[in-house]
Structures are given as structure tokens and as C-alpha cells.
A and B are shown apart, each in its own frame.
Chain A
Amino acid sequence: MSVPDTSCAAIGDVWEGYPTTAALAVTIPAGASVAVIAGIITAYILGAFGGIAAASLSPATLIVMCSITIAALVALITFLELLIQYLFQYKLACVDGDRCAIVKILSIEHNEDSDQSMNTIVAPLSDPKTSEAEYRAMWQAASLVYSDSTPGVASRGWKLRPESNGAEPRFGDHKLPLFHCEIQGAANYEWIKGLIAYMVAMIIVLAGIIALAALGAALGPFYYVLLALIALLILLAILFGIKVGTSSTSGAGDATSHTDIGKATPGPDGYVVTDTFGRTIKVGDHALLYGLHVIDTAHHKPDDHDGVWCELHPVRAIAKLDQAMYDAVSTTGPEGVYQRLCAAMSDYVKRPIGESDTGMAATPLEHERIG
């Protein structure tokens, strides 16, 4: 299952339909992780099955219990659809679409929702004595960290405050705010969509049980066929548990290099990974990031003075750079090394997959003079 396309229209285009507050956010218990929510839902479903099992000695009680469970499942599905809508459409308000950023990574966080975050400073910032006014005047900082949407978020009652991003450590003597960038984990989306699909299947099964219970009440011994169906239901529940327990959380870390180099071998007999630098991104690395430039509205709270901030979310691609390139980024505009790097990354991200894959497939493996 793929992650939904989160490319966004400029916020001004959808402003009218946008929630005036992060209304949907408050329906999610503060601090609740996806794991906890999933655990509650799973426990609820299994509890309902227990109730159905207990009620199965009588066709009438079975019909009542199944009906209650169906109603509860419909309510849960509605909630989950709202959750998806919130998480993947409204939580992250688009600023200006996909953007490129040349950064230095100061800290890394692994979030419970399977997202992975990087807190960064943007090039060419390096002097710890740099004031916020000086940083704000740098082109990358101005257009990524301090940029507002059109119309501005203040028109929705939100406060754009980059410093309200609590990422630590902040940079330099003046505690400059960090630029937050997140790799979207697939776990949330897969969990929620998987749960919805499972619940729909359960509603169908429960409806069948109701029909057969009614039939069984009329036919007597035929009722025991129901018991077999309920056993099937329990079996499905077990399978669900097994599926969940063995499912991948996000796919992160499972992949090999996209350059195909990960499959290269330094010997004639066997495949050995040769990319000695590895795919790993570390704190302190200089990097080229490419992703959706958004304002994370989930942190707005109407009743206090908290703010919202800009970030790249989801990050679509990451490449490592050396410090010389980071230092060479202009403070005045998107030119020079920034332009070259970002054009390359944009070409990579936006490449037509089919054609490029075909191009790669026809490319010599070793050298054009060998094959």
C-alpha cells in the first residue's frame, strides 16, 4: 500500500474550505500515539468478538450484539476517515509546494508515528554569533524558515513563530530556530487503511451472521452452522493479529540504494553491498533535502500563545553533501551550487519512473566499452 499523494495546492486556493481551527486535532487525545489508538481499536474489536461469542448461545442475543457491533464499527470507520483527512490534507498547510533545502542536521528524532525528523539549520549559516536578523536576511532562511503562506496564517488566527518549534538544541548564541524536516512513515496510513478494510470485512461477516441467526432461530439445529461461522470470525481475528504483528512499520531502513549500487559485488561470486558510506544520515551531516514546504498547523492551540512553523514534510529525497557545498550557498538567492544541486534533485524526484527505469535497464552495468 502506498502513502497518499500529499502534494498540495497553495493554501490560498483551498483557504475557504480550510478548518478555522485545528478542530479535528482536538478529537485526538493529546499525546496519544498511533500505537495506543490502534491498541484501543484492536482491543475494542476483540472485546466485541468476545461479546458476540458470549451472546452466541441464543440467536436473539446474537442478533442484538452483532447489530451493536456493526453500529460501533461504522462509527469507528467514520472516525478513521476523518483522521486520514486531517492527517494527510489539513494538518500540513501547503506554503509553496515542493522545495529544496541545503541544510546541516543538528538533531534527529524517531517519532512514534513512524515519521523520522531532522532538525536543521539552513545554509550557509555556520557562525554561532549570527543574529536572528542576519539569519532572517539569508535567502534560504527567509524563504523556508520565515516564509508565510498566501494569504498569511494570521488570517486564520494562527501565529507563525519558527521559534515555537521546540527542537533542541537551538543554534548559536542567539538560539536561532531550527528548520524541521520530516520523513513520512507509512505506518500511520497503512495501519488506518488496514483497520478500515478489516472493519468493512467484519461488517459484512456480521451482517451474514445476523441473517443466519434469524434463519437459525426458525430452523432450530441449523443454528449450529452459525457457531462455525463465529469460529471463522475468531479465526479472522487471530489472522488479523498475526498480520498486524508481522507487518512492516514503515518500510524505512529496508531498502537498498536506489542507484543499484547496493547490488554490486566486488567479487565474481555473490552479491555484496559496496557502498561503504551507507545510506545512513547522521547528526552533523550536510544534506540536500527535497520535500513539501508546509506549515504544521497541528501545534496551534487557540487558547494559548503557541505558534505554528514551517517545515519540509514529507521529505521526498535526501542526498549528502560536503561542507564546502554547504558553505558555498549564496545568501542572496537561488543561484550557483544551490541551483545545480536542486535541479539535479528535482530531476531525480520528478523523473518519469517508467522511462528512467527503462533508461537504467539499458545502461551498461560496468562501463560503456564493456557492457
Chain B
Amino acid sequence: MKGGRVMRRLVDYLKALLSLLWALLIAITRALTALIAMLVRGKLSVSEESPDCCLRPPEGMRPRPDPSIYSQEWLYLRGIGFTWDNPDFTLYDELGNVVDRMPLKPGATYRVVVRAHNGSLMAAIGTTVALEVLEFGIGGIVVEKIGSVTVDIPMLGVAPAEFLWTTPATGGHNCLRARLSHPDDGNPLNNVGQHNTEVAKPASPTRAAKLVLRNAAPGERTLRLELDGYRLAAKPMRPSPERGGLARNSPAYLRALQEENRRSRFPVAEALRARLAIGAAEPVEVAGHERGLTVDLAAGASVPLTLTADPAAFGGERQVVNIHAFDGAALVGGVTVHIDPVEA
């Protein structure tokens, strides 16, 4: 009997304790939920941005085109090797034949076709492509604005922009530069591409390529010249996640692209013995981009550069020498020189 009474008291005690715990839990729950409700109300009614000026539409609702061109500056920023022989530029003579790079005839009219790309699922309607001519060399000034045309680039597609260009009557070499612009461009950093080439034909055992290095900046600069033999791959990489390859936006794919196109993998061919002369100084052999030359230039000043190379071996393929100029880590410009093999 006594044991049963103790048991009942214990049960009553447990009931009271549980009731107290319940009350406590309920109070905590209510307080917590009230707090959360306040927070939620705040989140629903108060925008993270100024309510009067702007809004940020949700994902998928803000399609933005990405017009682009083969852009040396963008590729450099991405850590990928590049050439100044721009694959997006094609020149046609008056007969419609493709012109094999510079030099061009003086006073002749050429049709310049610039290929504008779009890397987005949204068509780039009304993309402006402007073309201008620069003095031949690195950091050159604009000598002529050819004009601009407007093109519609389809989603993930390409559109040609065509220009007519009459070369100066005085002849000489020139560089071409295309600029793309669109009011809603998702990536405005890949919109400028240059086409700066020179062909050195071995009319003599060695032939010099002459160009100008100019400092167009407002202050004095120390420019570093580097050379490499980078050229575009005959069979470029492609993302192929469905075949067990790398996905387009994966860091691994970018790393693979960087490795495949690393400038140091493309040294200037040793057989060419490429030599660079700055001004009237003696030529210096520069093999490999890691061994650059530096030039101090005052604002607006320029200095002639002369590249000499031994002719490529008889029967060999055309060789490439890219000359790049850097101001610290910033790319200033460059030129691609093609060295033809010795003719039979």
C-alpha cells in the first residue's frame, strides 16, 4: 500500500514537472516564432536595394548577350596564350580573293570582314562593330576610323561585319582594331580585337621586320618586350561533359585550356635565332618569353624595333614570332611576324 502511494506521488510529481516543461517549451516556441515572423515580415517588405531606384530580376529572367571577338587582352587576362594574327579578321581584295595578311597594296580598296561572336543564349541584337586603323607596331595611335556597322548576332552564333577600306596611298603597314559594343553586354572585356601582322619573306637570307613601339600613355613607362612562338591549334579543345570530358564552366576545363595554350609551351623556334633591336642598339637574341627586354619611354615617345631572324629551313612550315609589350602586368600591345621558309 505504502509503495503504491509513493508511486502515485511520484507520478503526480512527474506530471507537474512535465506540465512546467510544456509551459516552458510553449513560451520558447511562441517567442521564437514571433521573432522569426518579425524577421520574415522584414524580409518580405524591405528590399535589399533601394526600393525607388532599381531591382534585380531573378535568375533566368535577365538574359544578357555576350558579343565577343578574338580579344588578345581578354585571353591574356584569362591566362591563355594569344596571337596578333587575329582569326576573326579576313581581308579580301577587289577580286574577292582572300589576302594573305599584310602588307597590302597602297591606295587599294579591300573588303574587311570581322566575325562577331555571341556566347549567350540571348541574341545580341544591334551590336555595333567599329573598325579603325592604327599605325603599325605596338601601342600605336589611331590613324583612321573606317566606320561602324550594326549586326544582329544569333544566340551562340556568329555574324560577319563588313567594311570597305582603302589603304593609304603612301603604302606601309597598318594594324586593324575592331571594337564591339552592346548596351546590355554580359562581358564587355572580350570586345576588342587587333589584327597586327607582318610577313617576312626570305628574299634575302635574313629580312628584318620593322615596327614602332609607342608609349601613348600620359606618363613615362617602362615597357617589357617578350617574344613567343604561340600559334592557334589546328584542332581546338572542346568541352565534352557527356563523353566523360570536362564541363564548360568547370575550373578544370579552364585550367586545361590554360595549359594547352600556355605561352611558355611555344618558344620561338631556336633555328630562327630571333633577335630584337631597340632603336639603333645592337640586336639582342631573345628566345622564350621569360627573357624579356625593357624599354623606358617618355609620354608620347616612340622607338623603332627591328626583328631579325634566320630564315626558316627550306621546305619547312611558316614560322611565327609574336612580340608582346607589357607595362608591369598590363598588356600594351603586340605584333605577330610570320617568317616564311626559304624558297626553292
Contact = CB atoms under 8 A, between A and B. Distances in A.
Given A108-B54, A368-B117, A35 B40 contact: yes
A251 B51 contact: no
**Which of B52, B65, B78, B79 has the most chain A CB within a 10 Å cutoff?**
B78
A364 B238 contact: yes
Interface residues of A, number: 103
Contacts of A265: 78, 254
Given A267-B77, A279-B64, A46 B33 contact: yes
B66 interface: yes
B147 interface: no
Given A35-B44, A258-B64, A340-B125, A368 B236 contact: yes
A31 B15 CA distance: 46
B121 A266 contact: no
A120 to B, nearest CB: 13
Contact of B62 (A35, A113, A271, A279): A279
B247 A361 contact: yes
A363 interface: yes
Given A245-B39, A266-B78, A337-B126, A369 B70 contact: yes
**Which of B35, B120, B242 has the most chain A CB within a 10 Å cutoff?**
B120
Contacts of A276: 188
B166 interface: no
* Chain B interface extent, by class: 35 or more
Interface in A228-275: 230-231, 234, 237-238, 240-242, 244-245, 247, 249-268, 271, 274-275
Contact of A263 (B184, B240, B249, B257): B249
B122 interface: yes
B45 A255 contact: no
B18 to A, nearest CB: 6
Contacts of B156: 359-360, 363
A264 B258 CA distance: 14
A249 B59 contact: no
Contacts of B244: none
A230 to B, nearest CB: 8
B22 interface: yes
B26 interface: yes
Nearest to B11: A221
Interface string B220-242: 00000000000011001111111
A212 to B, nearest CB: 16
**Which of A244, A282, A345, A364 has the most chain B CB within a 10 Å cutoff?**
A364
B45 to A, nearest CB: 5
A317 B63 contact: yes
B184 A108 contact: no
A116 B52 CA distance: 11
B285 interface: no
B184 A320 contact: yes
Given A109-B51, A275-B186, A348 B122 contact: yes
A260 B202 CA distance: 47
A341 interface: yes
A361 B120 contact: no
B61 A275 contact: no
A39 B123 CA distance: 44
Nearest to A340: B125
A280 interface: yes
B48 interface: yes
A118 interface: yes
Interface string B108-139: 00000000010111110110000000000000
Contacts of A344: 122-123, 125, 152, 155
Nearest to B59: A255
Given A38-B40, A318-B62, A365 B29 contact: no
A88 B82 CA distance: 53
Given A249-B43, A347-B123, A275 B29 contact: no
Interface stretch (A10-18, A50-58, A151-159, A300-308): A50-58
Contacts of A116: 55, 57
A258 B184 CA distance: 13
Interface string A77-113: 0000000000000000000000000000001111011
A365 B57 contact: no
Contacts of A315: 57, 61
Contact of B236 (A238, A254, A282, A371): A371
B47 A110 contact: yes
A283 interface: yes
**Which of B44, B48, B75 has the most chain A CB within a 10 Å cutoff?**
B44
Interface in B15-60: 15, 18-19, 22-23, 25-26, 28-30, 32-37, 39-41, 43-45, 47-49, 51-60
Interface in A104-147: 107-110, 112-114, 116, 118
Given A46-B33, A237-B29, A259-B63, A33 B183 contact: no
Given A109-B51, A258-B63, A365-B239, A253 B36 contact: no
A254 B58 contact: yes
Interface of A: 33-36, 38-39, 42-43, 46, 49-50, 53-54, 56-57, 107-110, 112-114, 116, 118, 183, 186-187, 227, 230-231, 234, 237-238, 240-242, 244-245, 247, 249-268, 271, 274-283, 315-322, 325, 337, 340-341, 343-345, 347-348, 351, 356, 358-371
26 contacts: A35-B37, A39-B37, A46-B29, A183-B55, A238-B28, A238-B29, A238-B32, A244-B36, A249-B43, A253-B58, A259-B65, A260-B119, A275-B187, A275-B188, A280-B55, A281-B57, A318-B61, A348-B63, A348-B155, A360-B121, A361-B248, A364-B238, A365-B248, A366-B74, A369-B233, A370-B261
Given A234-B25, A344-B155, 9 more contacts: A46-B30, A116-B55, A245-B35, A255-B57, A259-B119, A275-B185, A277-B186, A340-B152, A348-B123
Q: List 7 tightest A-B contacts by C-beta distance, closest first.
A: A255-B59, A268-B79, A371-B237, A245-B36, A344-B123, A261-B186, A259-B120
